[in-house]
Structure 1
């Protein structure tokens, strides 16, 4: 058996220490609609840099309140551009760090195949009992859903059927479990590489709601963490852009 000399052992030990010292982590609050692409981006980021992303997923409005109350997040990936801008105005972000990382799309989805037509006409039919949307006060995709219903003149008709999820993630669960026959969800939750992950859907035209611009920002608590800056730069790069587009978003700056 070959024995390593002490010099080699010392060098190997120093290399291991140096590697572990260089690797770091960042705490990121992520809008629920971006769960799947974020998991893919975080995995790629760790492979490329050895840094870890500790991601929490939920409603943008709830994260905003938590950050205001001192939550330890260092980067915020919101589902809108309003909350990051407010945090910026309130002095809770690193100046100049806010940017649009994705532009989202809304879909009307059912877990049942052939249930939702490609024009959304099912909304005008009395064939379902429950329509799931995210809380419009906390989740931008929920607000977009209310705008669509208003544009279609269906607000009053659909109001008795609406069930609200606290986040777009919970809204998806309502529909996928069958507790609601259909619901307004983020396209990214049901779409990958140009294909639906199951069920049936209407891709809602962007003309029926305000643009869902999703902004990211480095928070004040991430100011001294180089991994926070590194992650944000990675999010702007080509590998992240490819993942973002694969889930039906437009990537940052587009």
Structure 2
């Protein structure tokens, strides 16, 4: 009785494998963990393969302009995909906001960062890590936050700049900086900050960290790239995004 359904399933599976393609996706460093989960579910659900490369959004722009083999960009901002579209490196009409990032002032040690971020004014630390604001949107948001608090110039001598938000997190996690501004997604688990102590920065202190996705020119004929962007808009992917502390548009 089970032979026919099994044969149908195997036929469908074979058809999926026959039409499966691979896509290379440039992923902003802050989104690496949710992107991995989403890609795994995408591969199981579609048969396509998604290869993820993580890095800083600013460097991805330069690489894409110079011919890097990426089909999709998951940016840490909304400016870079728009710029790539204007420059002819991203397909018009494919941009959309897939997540809105949240910034957190974090220390891996408990009771270091208070719930109001008052430690920034108290100054009981030697080093403050943040991503390079010239290339990393989370670093720019950190600078806007410090500016809103009137502390940017005061704390500048204590800055430790990471190339991207992943390196910034590593500076803090390793103890090279006592605290730092990182993405909430990097320290959140099961709806709370998993280790250490942190202050989730109020959204009013910086411009929204709108993270946009876009189909790049190289991926315009790649079925897997288009399918991944469609999957990213789906309920399962959006549930994963929320679980890592991002807001949705």
Fold shared, TM-score > 0.5 on shorter chain: yes
Residues 115 and 93 of structure 1: CA distance in aligned 2, closer, same or farther (over 3 Å): same
Pick one of 153, 164, 170 that aligns with 1:173: 170
TM-score by length of 2: 0.93
Partner of 1:187: 184
Partner of 2:227: 230
CA distance in 1 between counterparts of 2:32 and 2:61 reads: 17
CA distance in 1 between counterparts of 2:16 and 2:125 reads: 57
1:56 correspondence with 2:45: no
Residues 15 and 210 of structure 1: CA distance in aligned 2, closer, same or farther (over 3 Å): closer
| DSSP 3-state at the match of 1:250 | coil
Summarize the alignment of residues 31-46 of structure 1 with structure 2, pairs less than 5 Å apart: 31-46=28-43
- Per the TM alignment, residue 192 of structure 1 is displaced from its structure 2 partner at its CA by 2.5
Partner of 1:5: none
TM-score by length of 1: 0.92
Cα displacement string for residues 87-108 of structure 1 (whole angstroms, at most 9, x for unaligned residues): 0111111121000000111000
- Unpaired segments of 5 or more residues in structure 2? 1-9
Cα displacement string for residues 50-73 of structure 1 (whole angstroms, at most 9, x for unaligned residues): 211100001100001110111000
Does the Cα contact within 8 Å between 2:16 and 2:46 map onto a contact in 1? Answer: no
CA distance in 2 between counterparts of 1:74 and 1:163 reads: 33
Q: Which runs of 4+ in 1 moved over 4 A?
A: 13-19
Partner of 1:104: 101
1:154 correspondence with 2:151: yes
1:214 correspondence with 2:226: no
1:129 correspondence with 2:126: yes
CA distance in 2 between counterparts of 1:14 and 1:202 reads: 52
Greater Rg, structure 1 or structure 2? 1
1:118 correspondence with 2:115: yes
